[in-house]
């Protein structure tokens, strides 16, 4: 096995926001609290030490209830019990309830969290650190989660749905199971994957329970703790912040100011609404809006006066669901959390929230970019070597890559840069002559220069195309291997399901990731196996 690295800056797949955060650029520093290094966790621990005993008991009671009907490992049971103690802290990552985990980066997020807890334990042996997977059970974007890609097939759950996805019944997944089993083929690993899908989705009645079972089966040996925050007792802890949002619209006011400052240098990921809450019931999750002094639930006949909605919050806090803006605050209110591990898009919206946290007197977590990985088989790596392709080559846009390789392979000089420089020198001389004779002639000289340079560029492109035709067999092989490793011209981790690699490596896939994902490493990891 080979493990190679490439700086995120060289991949071309990460935003300026992420790259500036990783390099601790001074422009982005006002938007986060502590940078993600081991030393800063000492300060974060001190800030979170006052997390209340009462909240810890509520959290542990909820977790024990949620794990009641599944086989729990000793490592996970120990971690849940440790959460009762003041010296225990969490490292959290969150993810949607994607069917059969969705793309590969689901695994990378969770192993990043697991491995960070182990690093922290080595650094701070007097504390305990628990990896948390926060299930996004209250999301309602069904179209984002109802499929996974396997061997160039899109396996999709066809269903008409309303409301939060965690509450969806699993009816209709028998058809996905049948198709998946057919695509898997024969063999021990294929049987394991088919059985895992069946036990997860055909033996549990809703998507939250199915996803909990699946994630627990995959990660229980590593002590992962899975939390569904769609719980009334947890929402009770959040009541003061729900009321604040309804009465004062604090998120909108605070984040709008931050957004103005952040947008001077960076793309804004999410925009706050005046009220950042949904009203949640079975088959219903709709925005709450303030209209003419009344609180209304969009697309329904439900309305409240101010007194009525405050009473509703006290009586049924579980009916109030935070959106993407408020969910991070909810997380930090109910968890003794030190850090959040997410993808680039997630970090971008967290960076909008620091002042909002300050306004609510909640400690802002350390933000960490999850590990990114490219998996390459040994056979594929040998093909790359035969084609003369390097790892940085693979990350180039396809036309850039093809142009680069054709220029390297061709016996002809396909770069007309010298000719362009020479031409510019000649026209510079002509402009001097024109300025001494007839100034009006300068315009004609400039036009001719532009025409000649354009002609050279066209000749250069035509020659490159001709060489591509001549080298079409090599070009085709390069396209095939890059498309395999970067499906849909995107990162592999965003397209491919883990099942493809489990078929190849079985449980060793998890061992490989566990050993090689370094959450504090600011490089993209390439694993050749």
Identify whether the C-beta of residue 271 lies closer than 8 Å to the C-beta of residue 96. no
Q: What is d(CA 518, CA 507) in angstroms, rounded to the nearest whole number?
A: 19
**Residue 448 predicted with pLDDT over 80:** no
Whole-number Cα distances in Å, 333 to 109, 202, 239, 277, 328? 22, 34, 11, 16, 9
Q: What is the pLDDT of residue 209?
A: 97
**Residue 154 predicted with pLDDT over 60:** yes
Q: What is the pLDDT of residue 459?
A: 62
**Residues forming beta bridges with residue 367, ordered by sequence position:** 340
**Residue 417 predicted with pLDDT over 70:** no
Which residues, including other chains, have CB under 8 Å from residue 412's CB and lie 6 or more apart? Answer: 463, 467
Helix axes 53-66, 74-82, angle to 10 degrees: 150
Among the residue ranges 196-205, 293-302, 310-319, 424-433, the one predicted with the least confidence is: 424-433
* Mean of per-residue pLDDT scores for the chain: 93
Per-residue model confidence as pLDDT tens digits over 121-153: 999 999 999 999 999 999 999 999 999 999 999
- What confidence tier does 444 reach under pLDDT thresholds 50, 70, 90? confident
Q: What is the CA angle 126-128-129, rounded to 5?
A: 140
Q: What is d(CA 16, CA 514) in angstroms, rounded to the nearest whole number?
A: 29
DSSP 197-217: HHHHHTSSSBHHHHHHHHHHH
DSSP 328-384: HHHHHHHS-EEEEEE-HHHHHHHTT-HHHHHHTT-PPPEEEEPP-EEEE-HHHHHHH
Q: What is the pLDDT of residue 440?
A: 65
**DSSP three-state, residue 430:** helix
Q: What is the pLDDT of residue 415?
A: 62
Q: What is d(CA 175, CA 423) in angstroms, rounded to the nearest whole number?
A: 66
Average pLDDT (330-345) is: 98
CB-based burial label for 287 (10 Å; 0-12, 13-18, 19+)? middle
Identify whether the C-beta of residue 119 lies closer than 8 Å to the C-beta of residue 79. no
Q: What is the pLDDT of residue 419?
A: 65
Percent of the chain at pLDDT above 90? 85
DSSP code at position 4: E
Indicate the pTM of the whole model.
0.90
Q: What is the pLDDT of residue 464?
A: 56
**Residue 416 predicted with pLDDT over 70:** no
Q: What is d(CA 111, CA 74) in angstroms, rounded to the nearest whole number?
A: 18
Q: What is the pLDDT of residue 408?
A: 79
Q: What is the pLDDT of residue 234?
A: 98
Q: What is the pLDDT of residue 364?
A: 98
Q: What is the pLDDT of residue 356?
A: 98
Q: What is the pLDDT of residue 411?
A: 53
**Residue 449 predicted with pLDDT over 90:** no
DSSP code at position 296: E
Structure tokens that stand for 422 in this block: 């020479």
Residue 204: phi, psi to the nearest 5? -120, 145
- What confidence tier does 37 reach under pLDDT thresholds 50, 70, 90? very high
């Amino acid at each position: 096995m080979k493990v190679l690295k490439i700086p995120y800056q060289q991949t071309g797949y990460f935003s300026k926001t992420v790259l500036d955060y990783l390099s601790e650029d001074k422009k982005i520093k006002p938007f986060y609290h502590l940078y993600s290094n081991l030393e800063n966790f000492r300060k974060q621990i001190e800030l979170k030490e006052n997390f209340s005993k009462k909240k810890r008991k509520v959290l542990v009671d909820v977790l024990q209830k949620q794990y009641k009907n599944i086989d729990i490992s000793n490592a996970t049971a120990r971690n849940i019990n440790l959460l009762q103690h003041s010296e225990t802290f969490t490292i959290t990552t969150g993810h949607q309830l994607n069917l059969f985990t969705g793309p590969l980066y689901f695994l990378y997020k969770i192993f990043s969290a697991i491995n960070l807890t182990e690093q922290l334990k080595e650094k701070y042996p007097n504390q305990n650190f628990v990896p948390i997977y926060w299930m996004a059970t209250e999301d309602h974007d069904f179209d984002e989660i109802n499929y996974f890609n396997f061997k160039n097939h899109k396996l999709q759950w066809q269903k008409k749905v309303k409301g939060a996805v965690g509450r969806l019944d699993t009816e209709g997944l028998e058809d996905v199971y049948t198709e998946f089993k057919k695509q898997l083929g024969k063999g021990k690993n294929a049987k394991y994957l088919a059985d895992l899908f069946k036990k997860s989705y055909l033996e549990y009645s809703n998507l939250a329970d199915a996803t909990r079972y699946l994630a627990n089966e995959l990660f229980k040996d590593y002590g992962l703790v899975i939390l569904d925050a769609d719980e009334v007792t947890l929402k009770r802890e959040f009541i003061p912040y729900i009321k604040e949002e309804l009465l004062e619209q604090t998120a909108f006011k605070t984040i709008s100011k931050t957004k103005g400052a952040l947008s001077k240098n960076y793309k804004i990921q999410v925009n706050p609404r005046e009220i950042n809450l949904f009203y949640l019931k079975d088959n219903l999750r709709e925005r709450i809006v303030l209209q003419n002094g009344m609180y209304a639930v969009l697309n329904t006949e439900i309305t409240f006066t101010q007194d009525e909605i405050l009473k509703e919050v006290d009586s049924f806090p579980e009916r109030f669901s935070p959106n993407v803006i408020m969910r991070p605050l909810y997380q930090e209110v109910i968890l003794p959390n030190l850090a959040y591990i997410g993808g680039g898009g997630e970090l971008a919206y967290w960076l909008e929230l620091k002042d909002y946290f300050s306004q609510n007197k909640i400690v802002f977590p350390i933000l960490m970019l999850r590990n990114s990985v490219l998996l390459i088989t040994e056979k594929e790596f040998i093909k790359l070597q035969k084609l003369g392709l390097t790892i940085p080559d693979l990350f180039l846009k396809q036309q850039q890559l093809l142009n680069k390789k054709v220029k390297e392979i061709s016996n002809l000089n396909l770069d007309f840069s010298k000719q362009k420089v020479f031409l510019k020198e000649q026209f510079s001389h002509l402009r001097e002559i024109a300025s001494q004779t007839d100034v009006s002639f300068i315009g004609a000289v400039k036009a001719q220069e532009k025409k000649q340079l354009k002609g050279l560029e066209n000749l250069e492109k035509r020659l490159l195309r001709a060489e591509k035709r001549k080298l079409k067999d090599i070009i085709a092989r390069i396209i095939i291997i890059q498309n395999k490793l970067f499906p849909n011209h995107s990162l592999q981790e965003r397209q491919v399901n883990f099942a493809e690699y489990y078929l190849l490596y079985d449980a060793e896939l998890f061992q490989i990731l566990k050993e090689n994902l370094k959450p504090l490493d600011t490089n993209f990891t390439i694993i050749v196996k």
